[in-house]
Structure 1
Amino acid sequence: MSKTGLKILVIGSGGREYAICRKLLTSPLVSEVFCAPGNPGMQATGIQAVAIDELDFSKLIEFAVTKQISWTFVGPEDALVAGIVDRFQAAGLKIFGPTAKAAQLEGSKKFALEFMQRYQVPTAAYQAYSQPAAALAGLAAFKLPVVVKADGLAAGKGVTVALTRTAAVAAIKQLFAQGQHEVVLEEYLSGAEYSLFAVVGKDNYQLLPMAQDHKRAYDGDQGPNTGGMGAYSPLPQLSERLYQRIVAEVVEPSIKGLRQEKFAYRGILYIGLIATATGPKVIEYNVRLGDPETQVVLPRIKSDFAQLITDCLAERQLAPVSVSNQACLAVVIAAKGYPQAPQTGQLLPELAEQADVKIDFANVTGNSPTTLRAAGGRLAAVVAQADTLISAQTAVYHYLAQKQLSNCFYRHDIGTKATHQIFN
């Protein structure tokens, strides 16, 4: 099939956006993919980086009009919560993502929890507080460990699982000191965590492959929460029975809620799940694709992802998503000190792609793939797709073992909850 000339703009600069752009470029419908602001690691794959900040809506709209962009795909949550979809729609432009009102499902933990309560979506017991003294007093109602969350956006790092009262008190004080207007205390839920993504259209939705993210910074799920240190898909440990419960008890009432609230939702709904002893429960909603789950979910989609989004924006029925039986695994390379105080400026070794390994760059700067330097916390994801999860895991860690990474680190146990192997 020949190219029909769709010009697509992707908003964002990280590994998630790299993976989205890479996937869209495989579509026979697509002629060009732009990424604003993108990153220097994208230049080798045909993605056209555009030096416009993701929150500079006026310039992004001007670019979309000038370049006759067919539609825009929004990667990061900040832009969605700030209302990029509303602004683009007001300018008569097609854009994939929820409006600012719907984006509160991620922008406010309290809003999301109240939504779940209204539509009987199973989740943790919780209480929100707008004053430090009230939050500290409220601790008495929760057993240990207790989860302390920032109500607003915190890039995946505003969550503390406090094992002691002292740790909980410190977390509450820190969040308020950082400017959070509300802090949420939640019951601690125990069990395996999973990530589910739905493409939500006007009249129906389609589920993408599920994944498991690894939030903690260090091996064995130790250290602080991060934006994500690696992921894999599929999930061999997830039974079909539990999957069907997730769809019936979590996905269906969530989608019903979107309809009832009249959100006119055209975008991704991410559901962070935990499989408790009493059944699946929701940890959080996100209103966009996750990072690094995107890097392992999109490669497994065999059907045309650009066609799926085009159909969604045209308010057509969404065709079922065809999924590969192959497994995909990604390990994130992060700068030393991440997430609290990541070092910047260190030179990365050349991270060239191979037949079985792809590189999705994120927070890097430089003029060529051989001179990239660290420019933030998560620098790149090393991604492998193979017939089995163990094969994909082996390929990634074999690749990483050959690289001299100065002032960087990565986890050595991504995927071991499914494969029970550790790579040193």
Structure 2
Amino acid sequence: MKVLVVGGGGREHVIAWKIRKSRWVSKVYCAPGNAGIAAVAECVDIKPTDIEALLDFALDNGIDLTVVGPEAPLAMGIVDRFEEKGLRIFGPSKAAARIESSKIFAKEIMRKYSIPTAGSETFTDLSKARDYVIRTGGPMVVKVDGLAAGKGAFPCEDEMEALKAIDIIENGAFKEAGSRILIEEYLRGEEASILAFSDGKHVIPLESAQDHKRVFDGDTGPNTGGMGAYSPAPVISEDIASRVYDEILMPTVRGMAAEGTPYKGILYAGLMITDEGAKVIEFNCRFGDPEAQVVIPRMATDFIRPLLACCDGTLNRVNLRWSRSSCVCVVMTSGGYPGSYKKGFEIKGLDKVERMENVVAFHAGTREDGDGRILTNGGRVLGITAMGPDIKETIKLAYRAVRKVDFKDNFYRKDIGKKASYHLDGM
């Protein structure tokens, strides 16, 4: 079968890489792809948001399955458009994708179906939001309603930080996405992620992961799209995983169906593990990035099986098998990220990483120039990913690989996976 992957980041690289290993797949395309994806798929110069061009390509090339990586085309209705033409596509409809494209919609679903989450207030008038901040004081979390590439949430320890966040939103940093905001209760605990396949009725959770959102070590600095991840996450015990399934994943899928918007695809639950149990910080309508880079490699089942089952409503016939190995991804970024940064620097050392066992450099923001050199082309540049027998050894392997790569002004966190070590040392 022929598969089209939509997107051009690290998440799409691991998706294409895993799909290419399937015995059922003869050809993989990726639109637009990147320099690393080009090694496992034929890259097509079509933007992920150019839905009509993607549709024409799928029809013209006999694509059997399209897998959508990023949230923007899902929020624009790519699934609806492809299904209108009878094409099989993995992902939620435009209406169902609102679970990510509108944090206010997601919060309404959680309230209606008693899904544990932070308390919140919604504002369209930012002057009223400021009054609320001054009246209630910190700590709190300020969030824009719409899509913001993972950067639209501001954890604020006090009212001054919250007021500054509102100023940033009011000054147009998020455009239409910031026309409405949420001010949430500041949950205390440890963050983790559980992703799950859904065919609209059935749910199969994937293995747990933990992302590192803040840019600097020790979870400090501004939020990013993700600076690294590892799987499994020891903070998610068997009991917590079971409760997440019963109290969060299944009620969400049942609730979406009851609303007339069945949820098909991958449901990402960003969680805070509190003293009271797991609470939802956010839902995403696609694979997390970099969580995908540490969860998908651990899947022993042919990746195509659950993707097709979600499309066809047959997920109850699928049993996922998992490697017992640990997986760690360290994201290397351009200097200045998540703020302004420069592009076009040559990346050296990738050949050394390719020669390492149990290590893959998943490309995020890269491109190849006319001379065959790999250049930086984004904020998050590479996700250096390692597999190993346990988390401590895998962390060491990942960082050994990171140190073999070099490009001007590169930056990465030095503490990816440390929380897992703390949990395991305390057991």
* Fold conserved between structures, TM > 0.5: yes
Is 1:26–2:21 an aligned residue pair? Answer: yes
CA drift of 1:369 comes to 10
Alpha carbons 1:328, 1:385 under 8 Å: kept: yes
Deviates more, 1:384-393 or 1:286-295: 384-393
Instruction: Encode CA deviations 1:111-146: one digit per residue, 9 max, x unaligned.
Output: 110110000001011011111111111214544211
1:12 aligns with 2:7: yes
Q: 2:383 is aligned with what amino acid? A: A
User: One-letter code of the match for 1:271?
Assistant: A
Q: Given that residues 230 and 294 in structure 2 are in contact (C-alpha distance below 8 angstroms), is that contact kept between their aligned partners in structure 1? A: yes
- The question of 1:139 aligning with 2:136 is answered no
Q: Which residue of 1 aligns with 2:210?
A: 212
Q: Report if the CA contact (8 A) 1:40-1:368 is conserved.
A: no
Q: Show the counterpart of 1:374.
A: 376
Please give the alpha-carbon distance, in whole angstroms, between the structure 2 residues aligned to 1:402 and 1:27: 30
By how many angstroms is 1:311 displaced?
A: 2.1
Whether the 8 Å CA contact 2:267–2:284 is kept in 1: the answer is yes
The alpha-carbon deviation at position 412 of structure 1 amounts to 0.6
Match of 2:402 among 400, 403, 424: 400
C-alpha separation in 1, matches of 2:379 and 2:179: 26
- CA deviations 1:196-222 (Å, max 9, x no partner) are 111101431211111000000011111
Q: TM-score, normalised by structure 2?
A: 0.94
Instruction: Quote the residue 2:350 is aligned against.
Output: 351
What code does the residue aligned with 2:416 have?
I
Q: Does the 8 A contact of 1:230 with 1:331 survive in 2?
A: yes
Matched residue, 2:115: 121
Q: Distance in 2 between matches of 1:106 and 1:385?
A: 30
Alignment-derived partner of residue 235 in structure 1:
233
Please state how far the C-alpha of 1:404 moved relative to its aligned partner.
3.2
Measure, in 2, the Cα distance between the counterparts of 1:64 and 1:94.
10
Instruction: Report deviation, 1:400.
Output: 1.7
Aligned to 2:245: 247
Match of 2:193 among 192, 195, 199: 195
Partner residue, 1:87:
81
Counterpart code for 1:246? V
- Give the equivalent residue in structure 1 for 2:34: 39
Cα distance in 1 for partners of 2:231, 2:57 equals 36
Matched position secondary structure for 1:409? coil
The AA in structure 2 aligned to 1:277 is: D
- The residue aligned with 1:279 is 277
Structure 2 gaps of 5+ residues are none
Structure 1 residue 340 corresponds to structure 2 residue 342? no
Residue pair 1:162, 1:168 contacting (<8 A) in 2 also: yes
- The one-letter code matched in structure 2 to 1:326 is S
In terms of mean alpha carbon deviation, does 108-117 or 340-349 score higher?
340-349
What is the CA deviation profile of residues 43-66 of structure 1, one whole-angstrom value per residue up to 9, with x for unaligned ones?
22x211110011111110110011
Query: Does the 8 A contact of 2:369 with 2:375 survive in 1?
Result: no
Who is 1:3 aligned against? none
Counterpart for residue 322 of structure 1: 321
How big is each residue's C-alpha offset from its partner over 1:341-381, in whole Å with a ceiling of 9 and x where there is no partner? Answer: 12212221131322121010011122489611111100010
Letter in 1 for 2:333: A
SS of corresponding position for 1:210: coil
2:44 corresponds to 1:50 = yes
Q: Deviations over 1:81-104 (max 9, x none)?
A: 111111111222111111111111
Q: How many residues align?
A: 415
Contact 1:216–1:224 under 8 Å retained in 2? yes
Letter of the structure 2 residue corresponding to residue 328 of structure 1: C
Residue pair 2:110, 2:117 contacting (<8 A) in 1 also = yes
CA distance in 1, matches of 2:256, 2:215: 33
Worse overlay, 404-413 or 141-150: 141-150
Q: In structure 2, how many angstroms separate the alpha carbons of the residues matched to 1:252 and 1:141?
A: 37
Q: What is the aligned partner in structure 2 of residue 111 from structure 1? A: 105
Partner of residue 388 from structure 1, selected from 386, 390, 399 = 390
Following TM superposition, by how much is the alpha carbon of 1:392 offset from its aligned partner in structure 2, in angstroms?
1.1
Distance 2:322 2:123 in 1: 43
Are 1:349 and 1:370, in contact at CA under 8 Å, matched by a contact in 2?
Answer: no
Q: Identify the residue that residue 167 of structure 2 maps to in structure 1.
A: 173
Measure, in 1, the Cα distance between the counterparts of 2:222 and 2:413: 13
Counterpart contact for 2:137–2:159, Cα < 8 Å:
no
Give the deviation of 1:237 after TM superposition. Answer: 3.5
CA distance in 2, matches of 1:194, 1:97: 22
CA distance in 2, matches of 1:141, 1:326: 49
SS at match of 1:340: coil
After TM superposition, the structure 1 stretch with the greater mean CA deviation from structure 2, 286-295 or 255-264, is 255-264
Q: Deviations over 1:285-333 (max 9, x none)?
A: 0000000000000011101110111122222234121111111000000
Deviations 1:372-421 (A, max 9, x none): 11111000100001111111111111112233332110011000001149
Q: Which of 255, 258, 278 is 1:257 aligned to?
A: 255
Counterpart among 403, 415, 420 of residue 417 in structure 2: 415
Q: Write the letter of the residue equivalent to 2:379.
A: G
Do the aligned residues in 1 keep the contact of 2:137 with 2:158 (CA within 8 Å)? Answer: no
Map of 1:289 onto structure 2: 287
TM-score by length of structure 1 reads: 0.95
**Contact persistence 2:305–2:318 (CA under 8 A):** no
Counterpart in 2 of 1:307? 305
Aligned pair in 2 of structure 1 residues 30, 161: CA closer, same or farther (>3 Å)?
Answer: same
- Contact 2:200–2:253 (CA under 8 A) maintained in structure 1: no
- Contact in 1 for aligned 2:201/2:253 (Cα 8 Å): no
Which amino acid is the alignment partner of residue 20 of structure 1? I
**CA-atom RMSD in angstroms:** 1.5
